[in-house]
Structure 1
C-alpha cells in the first residue's frame, strides 16, 4: 500500500495527510474486510483548496416567497455553493422576499445582484414580485435562472412585456385569462385531488442542438426531477419562440416544455420546469447553476 507524498505548504492539507500517514483508511478497509486500494489525494486536495480559498466572488439574488424560513431554499443555496466551488468563487446571497418587489424599486433592491435566481413555489402570493425580478434581469441583462415557478414567471413576464399580452398568466392564478401561457395539461383537468395532478419524479429532457442548455450539459438528453402541476402551454409556444423565448429542452415526444431560453442578446437567461438543485453535488456542480455563476462572475467583472 502506497501513500503518495504531496509537495504542499498549505495547512489545510495537514489533517488529511496525517490521517493517511497513520493509515486510517487502511485500517477502516481492513475492519470492513474490503480490499486495500492506492490512495491518491491530489484531486481531493485541489478541490478542498478551492472550497477554502476562493479567489473570486459574486452576489446571487434569490427572489422567493419563503425567504423568511431559513431552510426553505436550502438545496438552492447548496447548489449555488457547489457552482461557486467549480468556478473558484465565494457566493454571497442576497435574499429577497418576492413581495418586497411588488411595491419596492427593483433597481434599489437588486442593485448588488450579479445574478438573479427565482425558485419554485405554489400559489399566487409573491408572483407579481417574482415577475418584476424577471423583468429586471431580462431588461438589465443580468444573468438569470428560473426554476419551476420561476420559469413560469419568466414566460408570463415575456408574454406580457414583449408580446404585449397584459393579461398573460397561469391558470393557477387567473383561470379566466385569455393568454394562459401556463396551464394544466388536458389530461389533468378532470383530476380533483391536487396530488394526482402533479408531475413527480424523474423525466427525460431532450435539448435542442446548439442551444445554451445543450452546451452546458454536454449531452443531447438527460433526466431531471420534477414536482409541479402546471405546464408551459404548447398553444403559445410558436408565438413566444418567434418573439425570442424559445423552448430548448422538451420531453422526447416534444409535447412538454422543460427548458426555455432567451435567444436575444443576453448573457444568461434560462428557465427550467424541473428542479436541478436536487442533482447538484459538492464536487459536481449542476450545469445550470454552474452556468449562472460563471455568467454572474463575468457580469461582476464587467461592471
Structure 2
C-alpha cells in the first residue's frame, strides 16, 4: 500500500517534518507494511491518472499556497467521489473546503484569500487572529462523528500553523450539505470537518502530526493509515 502526501515538501517547515515523523510513529504500532511519498501539486496536475493508480490514500499537506491549486482540487474531487481515504491538515483543510464549495455546493466562484484576497466570494478567509504555533483547545461537538470515535473525548488540544480558515458565514451551508463541522473552537468556528458516508475524508485546521510522538502516535494519523490498509 502507498500513501501520497500532496504538497511541496520543505525540510525547513516544521509541519512537513512533523508529517514524516508522525507517519513513522504510527508505523511503529501498525503491523502491515506501507510506503509514503511526497508529491508536488504540479506533478499531480500533470500526472493525476498515474498517481491515482499508484496510491491508495492521500494526505493533503500543510503549506499553502500550493504551486498548483488545480492539481490539489482535482485530486480532492476524485478521492471524495471515489471513497478514497483522504486526510487534510492546515492547508489541506483549506483546499478540501474550496473543492467542496465549488463542486458540491455549486459556489463556482469560491476562493481562498491567500490566492485571491480581493475575490467576491472568500469561502476561505483570514482568521480573526493568527494561530501560528499556538496549541489551543477544540471541542468535538458531534459525538456520532468518526472523529469522536477516534479521540474518544470531547475536548482536545492541538497546535496550529495557519492564518486562514472556513469563513464562518458558510459554516451552516457546509454542515447542512454533508461536510459536517465536527470540531470547533471557543468562538464556534470550524476546526474539524468530516464528510458523511465516506471511509475517511477528514480535514483539520490544526496540525495533529505536530502532537505525535513515538510513545504516543497521533490517533487521527494512525486511523487514517489503518483505513487505507483495510
TM-score > 0.5, shorter chain as reference: yes
Partner of 1:95: 38
**Is the Cα contact below 8 Å between 2:41 and 2:66 reproduced in 1?**
no
1:153 paired with 2:95, answer yes
Match of 2:184 among 250, 272, 275: 250
Cα 1:296–1:238 shift into 2, 3 Å: same
Whole-angstrom distance in 1 between the partners of 2:183 and 2:43: 32
Partner of 2:219: 287
Correspondences of 1:67-216 after superposition (within 5 Å) = 69=10, 73-104=16-47, 106-185=48-127, 187=128, 197-208=130-141, 209-216=143-150
Whole-angstrom distance in 1 between the partners of 2:12 and 2:184: 31
**Is the Cα contact below 8 Å between 2:90 and 2:162 reproduced in 1?**
yes
Cα 1:87–1:81 shift into 2, 3 Å: same
Whole-angstrom distance in 2 between the partners of 1:112 and 1:92: 11
Match of 2:172 among 226, 238, 255: 238
**Counterpart secondary structure, 2:94:** helix
After superposition, what is the alpha-carbon deviation per residue over 1:257-302, rounded to whole angstroms, capped at 9, x for unaligned?
A: 1100001x2100100000111111113210110110110001xxxx
TM-aligned CA deviation for residue 129 of structure 1: 1.7
**Counterpart secondary structure, 2:181:** strand
Cα 1:258–1:238 shift into 2, 3 Å: same
Question: How many residues are paired up?
Answer: 227
Whole-angstrom distance in 1 between the partners of 2:131 and 2:185: 16
**Counterpart secondary structure, 2:180:** strand
**Is the Cα contact below 8 Å between 1:120 and 1:148 reproduced in 2?**
yes
Structure 1 outlier segments of 4+, above 3 Å:
69-72, 197-200
Could you tell me the TM-score, scaled by structure 2's length?
Answer: 0.91
Cα 1:82–1:124 shift into 2, 3 Å: closer
Whole-angstrom distance in 1 between the partners of 2:150 and 2:89: 16
After superposition, what is the alpha-carbon deviation per residue over 1:154-174, rounded to whole angstroms, capped at 9, x for unaligned?
A: 000001111111121111112
